[in-house]
Structure 1
C-alpha cells in the first residue's frame, strides 16, 4: 500500500487528497471555512468546524480514492491557537487565528526583550506568532485546560496523543532555534511557565494511529503548511526558494543546517525535521495578495481573479500601488500601515489600477527576495511559485521583471498536502529519503525577466520609497 491521505487544514478551507506513489493524486475533497473578523483586530474560527472539516474532507477523499490508505498526514496553519480540555478534547475557547492582532499589548510589554527573542527563536516579537496569542488567551478568555496550536488539538482527536511537530513549535516564540526544543525561560517570559506543552516530534515521526477514516493507520507527516510547500517544490538544497501566492504570499528559502539569524527583518524557522536532520529556512510574508484581488472585485473593477490578465493594462502609466490593505509584514512589521495608490491622473483607467495592484504584490515579494539573498550571502538564482494566483500570467511576468529572476510555476494545485504526504511516506519507509519521496517535477511555465535590470531597479527604488511612506504613516497614526 502506497496511498497517503494528506490533509491541509488552512485558514479559509480544509483540503484532503489521497496521493499514490504510482498514480499521483487520485482523490480530492475540500471544505470552505470562514473566519470571523472582529472589532479590535480579532480573527477567530470555530474549533468544531475545523475538526468537522478535517474528518469530512478526509472521509470523502478516502471514499473517492477506492483504495486503502497507508497513513494520514496533516499540514496546519502554524500559529493559530486554542484552549481545550485534554481529558475530553472539548474546546474551551475559539481558535485565535494567526492573523489576530489582539496580542499587540502582550508584545508591547515585552518590547525590551525583542532582541533576545530574535536571537533565541529566530522570530520577530509580533502577534503573528503563537506565544503572544497564547498569553492573551490566558489573560482574557480562560485559565482552564491546555493552550496549544490547532494541530495538537486535531491530532489528539485523531490519535489521543499530545504532540506537535518541530516546524509548528518553531513558529511559537517558545522554541530554542539551535536545539529545536522548548525554552522554559521563554515560556516564563510570556507567563506560560506552568503550561503543559506538547511533545515535539520530527516531521517523519509516526505520532500515533487513527481509525477516523477507516481501518487503523499511522499518523505522520505533521508540518506547517508553508514548510510543506517548500518540501513539495523540492527546495531541499540551501539557497533554493519558493513563494506561495494565496490569501497572502509566503516566500521561504532553505538555508541548510545552519539557522541563519536574519539581519534584514525576516524570520528563521525549522524548515522540516526528518532523517535525524534539521534544515532551516528564512521567510517573509505579504499579508494581502488574493485578498487584494478580492478588494478589486469588491470595488467592481473586476468580476473575478480570472479577469486579471484580460483587464490589466500593458503599462501602468506611472500608477503605483503599495497593497498594504492589512498592514505590512517583513521587513517593516508595520501592522498599522495602510495601502496607497499614487501617480493617478484624469487619464488613469481601471486597467492601470489593476496592473498597479499586481505590480505592487510582485514588488513586495521582490523586496523579500532581495532580503533573503542578503541573509543567504548570495542572490537567488530563480524562484519557484505555487498557489492560485500563479494562474495570472501578468502577475507572474511582473514578478520575473521586478525581481529579475526566472519564475518556475509548480505544476500541481496541492503543494502543501503533497509535501506532508512525502514526509509521511518517509515515516513509513525510512530508507526512502526525502528527495525520492518528493520526486522530480517540471514547471508548467517559466517566466523570464523582460525588463532591463536598470528599469527593474528604478521601479523597485520608487516602490520602496512608497512602501516606507506607508509604514511611517501607519506608525505615526
Structure 2
C-alpha cells in the first residue's frame, strides 16, 4: 500500500487540505480562507493570487500537522470560476470571475438561438453560471491577451508548469463535446473562442507534473472538479444513486453510468469523471444559495451563525405560514432563471427569527426536492439513495426538513470533507496504476440517517406553497419584462 497523499480542495470561501493515509485515514488538515467580493449587478470576483496562496498555505499546514511526507498530491477546484492569465509568466491578467457571477447574462441572451445545439453537444444550458460565457465576456470586455481558462488550469500551471484540465472540469465550461470528451470546435466558435489556446484535457487520475510548492517535490497525480469529487467519495457509482452537497450552494448529482443521459427536465448532463480511461456521467442540478443564504440571515442579525439554525428554528413548531424562496443569486436548475430575486411571503407581526429559520430550511430543501424529481424524471425511475455532505449537514433541522419534504431517507456522510477525500482517491489512482477504483474510495458509512416524520400529504402541501411562491416570482418577472419593452406597435 502506498503512503499518504495530500488532497487539496480549493473552494469558494476557502481551501481545505487533508493528508490522507490509506490505513489511518486523515492524519493532517489545514484551512485557509479566501474572500470573494460580491458587487452590485450580480458580480462576484476574487483575487486569483489569494486562491493560489490559500492552496499553498492549507497544503503546508496539513503536511505540518501530519508530521510525515506525502507521496502525491491531488487538487479539486470550483469548476466554473475563470480568469485570464499570462502563460509565459503565470501572472493573472484579470480577477477570477467566481461561478456565481452573472455579468455574462447579456451575452447569453445574444447567443440564445444557439442554445439547443449547445445543449445537445455539451449537455449544458446557456447560462452565466458556466465557464464559457464568462470566458467570452472576459475576451470581449477585459483583455484579449494570454489565455482564458477555468481556475484549475491556472493553479496547476503555477504548481507544476503543466497546461491541463480534467475531463469533469472541462465539462463545466460549455465547450466540451459530451460524447467524445474533447473540445468542441462548433461550441468554441459560438462563443468566439475558436482561436483560443486551451488546456489539454486529461483523465482525473493522470500524473501531470511535479510541484515544490508544499516543500519537497511532490507529483500532482489527481485532478477533479469539486462536486464530482464528493460524488466519488460517497461511493455514488451506480445509476440511480445521488448525492447532495450543502455548501455555499447546494449541488445534487445523480449517477447515470457510462453513457450521458440527456433529459428535458432542466438538469445538466455532464462528465462525472474519467478514470482508467473510462468515462462516467451524471445529471447535475444546483441551488445557488444555501450556506450563503444562512450567511445572509446572519448578516441581518437574525441568527449568530449556522450553529444557530437548530436552536433558533427548534424554538418554534413550524414556519408559521412563512414561505421563503432563497433565490438570493437567482434560481438555478431546473428553472435557469438567474434574473429572479428571492422572496419572503406570509409575514405577520407574530413572525420571529424561528419562523424565518424554518422557512429558509424549507426553501433550501424544497429546491433540492425539485432537483431530485427532475433527476428521477430523466432517469425514468425514482432515486434509490440520497447521500449528503457539506457543512450544513450539521443542522439536524435542515436534514430532517430535507427528509420530510423528499419523503425518502437522507443519509448523512460520516466523512466531513467529502470533496477532499474524493480527490485523494483520484490522486492515489494516479500514483498507483494497478489500484482499482473501489480500492481507492473510502468505505461508505453514514453518520446519521434521517427518516421522514410527516405524511406524504403534508409534504405535498408544503411543497405546493413553495411552488406557488416560485410561480409568483416567475410571473412577476415576466410582467416586468413586458412593461420594460413597452406597448407593441
**Structure 2 counterpart of 1:466:** 469
CA positional deviation for 1:466:
1.2
Q: Secondary structure at the match of 2:168?
A: helix
**Structure 1 counterpart of 2:234:** 233
Does the CA-based 8 Å contact 1:405-1:449 persist in structure 2? yes
CA positional deviation for 1:58:
1.1
> Aligned ranges for residues 347-426 of structure 1 at < 5 Å?
347-426=350-429
- For residues 202 and 325 of structure 1, the distance between their equivalents in structure 2, rounded to whole angstroms, comes to 35
**Structure 2 counterpart of 1:435:** 438
Deviations 1:176-217 (A, max 9, x none): 001110011111111111100110000011111222222222
- For residues 51 and 407 of structure 1, the distance between their equivalents in structure 2, rounded to whole angstroms, comes to 35
| Stretch of structure 1 that moved more, 55-64 or 383-392 | 55-64
Q: How many residues align?
A: 477
> Aligned ranges for residues 58-69 of structure 1 at < 5 Å?
58-69=59-70
Q: Secondary structure at the match of 1:300?
A: coil
- For residues 67 and 283 of structure 2, the distance between their equivalents in structure 1, rounded to whole angstroms, comes to 40
- For residues 187 and 138 of structure 1, the distance between their equivalents in structure 2, rounded to whole angstroms, comes to 13
Q: Secondary structure at the match of 1:271?
A: strand
Deviations 1:337-377 (A, max 9, x none): 12222223333332122111111111111111111111111
- For residues 341 and 86 of structure 1, the distance between their equivalents in structure 2, rounded to whole angstroms, comes to 47
Match of 2:449 among 446, 449, 474: 446
**Structure 1 counterpart of 2:10:** 9
CA positional deviation for 1:290:
1.1
* Cα distance change of structure 1 residues 475 and 166 upon mapping to structure 2, 3 Å threshold: farther
Deviations 1:55-85 (A, max 9, x none): 1211221122111111010000101111111
Deviations 1:456-476 (A, max 9, x none): 122222211211212332344
Does the CA-based 8 Å contact 2:171-2:271 persist in structure 1? yes
Q: Secondary structure at the match of 2:401?
A: helix
Q: Secondary structure at the match of 1:75?
A: strand
* Cα distance change of structure 1 residues 41 and 286 upon mapping to structure 2, 3 Å threshold: same
Q: Secondary structure at the match of 1:148?
A: strand
User: Unaligned 5+ residue runs, structure 1?
Assistant: none
Does the CA-based 8 Å contact 2:103-2:128 persist in structure 1? yes
**Structure 2 counterpart of 1:119:** 120
**Structure 2 counterpart of 1:149:** 150
- For residues 405 and 18 of structure 1, the distance between their equivalents in structure 2, rounded to whole angstroms, comes to 34
- For residues 479 and 41 of structure 2, the distance between their equivalents in structure 1, rounded to whole angstroms, comes to 18
Does the CA-based 8 Å contact 2:42-2:329 persist in structure 1? no
- The TM-score with structure 2 as length reference comes to 0.95
> Aligned ranges for residues 300-339 of structure 1 at < 5 Å?
300-312=301-313, 313-339=316-342
Does the CA-based 8 Å contact 1:17-1:58 persist in structure 2? yes
**Structure 1 counterpart of 2:487:** none
**Structure 2 counterpart of 1:278:** 279
Does the CA-based 8 Å contact 2:261-2:283 persist in structure 1? yes
Does the CA-based 8 Å contact 1:337-1:473 persist in structure 2? no
Asked if residue 164 in structure 1 is aligned to residue 165 in structure 2, the reply is yes
Q: Secondary structure at the match of 1:279?
A: strand
Does the CA-based 8 Å contact 1:422-1:437 persist in structure 2? yes
User: Unaligned 5+ residue runs, structure 2?
Assistant: 481-489
- The TM-score with structure 1 as length reference comes to 0.98
**Superposition misfits of 4+ residues, deviation over 4 angstroms:** none
